Each structure stands twice: as C-alpha cells, then as structure tokens.
Amino acid sequence: MELPEEYKRGFKDFLGIKIDLSKRPLIPRPETEYWVQWFINQDHKEKMKCLDLFSGSGCVGVAVLKNIQDSICHFGEIDDAFLEQIKINCSDINSNRYRIIKTDIFSNIDEKYDYILANPPYVAKSRIDEVGSDVINYEPHIALFSGNDGMDIINNFIDNVKDYLNEGGYAIMEFDPQQKDKIKEGEFHKDQFGEYRFVVIKK
C-alpha cells in the first residue's frame, strides 16, 4: 500500500494555494474546493468574520483569507498536530486576521460569526469497505468517521450551529450525498459532479 502522492510531495494545491500537509491532515478534496469557491463568489458582509470548523489543514479558512479582502477567519480543530498544521498554513497571513482554537465541535467557541464553514467527519463506519485502502491506511480517521451512519457529528453541528451565527448569517456544511434525506433543514447544493454535497443553513 503506497503513501498518497500528496503526503509524499508534502502539499496539495487548493484553489491555487499551496497547502502544507506535513502533519498528515485530511487531504483536501476537489468537492470541498468547489463549495469554498462557491462561498468566495457570494456577496459578503464588509469585514466579515467566519469560522472554519473541523479545520484539518486549514485549507478552507486560508482560501477565504487569501481571496476575501479584510475578512477575518477563526479555525476550530481538536487534534494538536492539525492545530500546528493550520499555524504553518497561516504563516504568511497577518496574525490579526485569524485565530486558532482547540475545540471539540463548539466546546471552546465563545463568539458568533457571520459565516461558519464546516467539513465534518461524515463517513459512515458501515460503509468502510467502500473507502479506498490508501485513505484507510494513511488519512486521519478522526477526520473521516462519525458513527455507524456518519451522522453523529453532523447532527450535533446542526442542532447547535445557529447559536454561533449572527442574525442573517449562515453555515455551509459538507456531507455525503447519501445523507441528504437525513439532514432535516437547509438549502441543498450539488457539487461539480452533480451530487448533493453541501447544505446552507441560514439564521
């Protein structure tokens, strides 16, 4: 079983940005790139503040900071190695524009945001046989799996997310297309492959 090319190389291109992967976070996916670009293209509040939750490499928040002028982004992540990884990927960004928070979902989040961008662990353990062996062997399980149907963290996130949004703000959450019918609220959007891949939950 061979180490994924992105880990060998040490980085992955994400919306034209070189994202360091030296701490072996989840490798950023093109489906994630698609909805982050969608978000960047929307009209935003001036000096908007967002939270990149389940941040991993930090690719989502870094792309926002580098593409939206005067934006502020906080990064939420539970894994110590990935907190270091985010720091590496923010090294050329003004430190006034970001904050890195160690948090389990919302446990240490103490403010509200205009936008919350979330790529939670959502792979169902019952579908582990469908996941590539290179992913199973090398990518972090903490970033992949969430209960037998993959919904444990998603449900927690949806139940609580509006408490951390400013009035008129919204959250974007990535999910497995097979989970669409289990997600009870929000506006669903397809990815570049025609699959339902992210949901927008408005406050």
- pLDDT tens digits, 67-106: 999 999 999 999 999 999 999 999 999 999 999 999 999 9
Report the chain's mean pLDDT, rounded to a whole number.
Answer: 93
pLDDT (0 to 100) of residue 157: 96
Instruction: Tell which wins on pLDDT, 5 or 138.
Output: 5
Give, for 12, the enclosing helix (H) or strand (E): strand 11-14
Q: What is the DSSP string of 135-188?
A: HHHHS-GGGTB-STTS-HHHHHHHHHGGGGEEEEEEEEEE--GGGGGG--SSEE
Helix, strand, coil: what percent of the chain each, to 5?
Answer: 35, 25, 40
Q: Could you tell me the pLDDT band of residue 15, with boundaries at 50, 70 and 90?
A: very high
Q: What is the pTM of this model?
A: 0.94
Q: Give the HSE-up count for residue 77: Cα atoms under 13 Å, Cβ half-sphere.
A: 25
What range does the domain containing 157 cover?
5-202
| More confident: 136 or 88 | 88
Identify the helix (H) or strand (E) that includes residue 2. Answer: none
The residue assigned the tokens 């994924």 is 4
Sign of CA dihedral 27, 67, 89, 165: negative
Q: What would the pLDDT profile of 157-202 be if each residue is shown by its tens digit?
A: 999 999 999 999 999 999 999 999 999 899 999 999 999 999 999 9
d(CA 48, CA 180): 29
Helix (H) or strand (E) holding 117: strand 113-118
Looking at the chain, the number of H-run helices and the number of E-run strands are 6, 9
Domain count within the chain? 1
Q: What is the CATH number of the domain that holds 196?
A: 3.40.50.150
What does the pLDDT read at residue 134? 77
Alpha-carbon torsion (44, 49, 50, 56), positive or negative: positive
